[in-house]
Amino acid sequence: MRAFLLGLVASLAALLFSGTAVAQSSSDKASDGAFTGIALITDDPNWHELFQRPETPHISGVDRLAGGERGTLAIIFSNAEPRDGMVSIVCDVTVFDPAGSRLIVDSGPCYDGPYAGPNILHPTLLDLSFGIGEDEPEGKAGFKVTLRDVHSGREVDLEVGFTQGGAP
């Protein structure tokens, strides 16, 4: 049964990202038991709205953001353990830049809400949009995310990166 559930989540994730040219480093997926987390760098600041439609959302990922461009960290989860019909997720997010600097940008609840059922992808309510300055050094930047299901105690570590800087 567990293999079936994980296969179904993998299939849903493949549908979610189908048709996109996402570099391996700009998206990451990990599971702890059935609890699954997905992180993705996108240039769509309204990616949350895609989950309000009846069809499977398609989120375009990016692996490069030039000076003056904007990006967003999208964090998605499935199969959190409900209590009284609700799930609670905590996100710890650290940003890193080409110089090797690290900064904790968020640590705390990123979703407290209704449980929609097994194998349903949920967007977190964390909005981490960012811009690349015209004078930013070119190189690898990104995010490290720890996603925790409060009720089950399960957690996943995700890391996504992109190349920043340079001309558009």
pLDDT at 4 over 90: no
Cα–Cα dist 157/145, whole Å: 6
DSSP class of residue 157? E
112-153 pLDDT tens trace = 999 989 999 999 998 899 999 988 889 999 999 999 999 999
The stretch 90-102 carries a mean pLDDT of 91
**What class does CATH assign to 2-164?**
mainly beta
Token pair of 143 as six digits:
């995010």
Contacts of 54 (CB under 8 A, 6+ apart): none
What are the b/e assignments for 21-40, b being 16+ CB within 10 Å? ebbebbbbbbbbebbbbbbb
The mean predicted confidence, pLDDT, of the chain is 84
The stretch 150-158 carries a mean pLDDT of 97
pLDDT band at 157 (very low <50, low <70, confident <90, very high): very high
Task: Give the pairing of strands 128-131 and 139-149.
Answer: unpaired
What are the b/e assignments for 75-110, b being 16+ CB within 10 Å? bbbbbbbbeeeebbbbbbbbbbbeeeeeeeebeeeb
pLDDT the model gives residue 13: 37
Domain assignments of the chain as residue spans, ordered by start: 2-164
| 3-class SS of residue 85 | coil
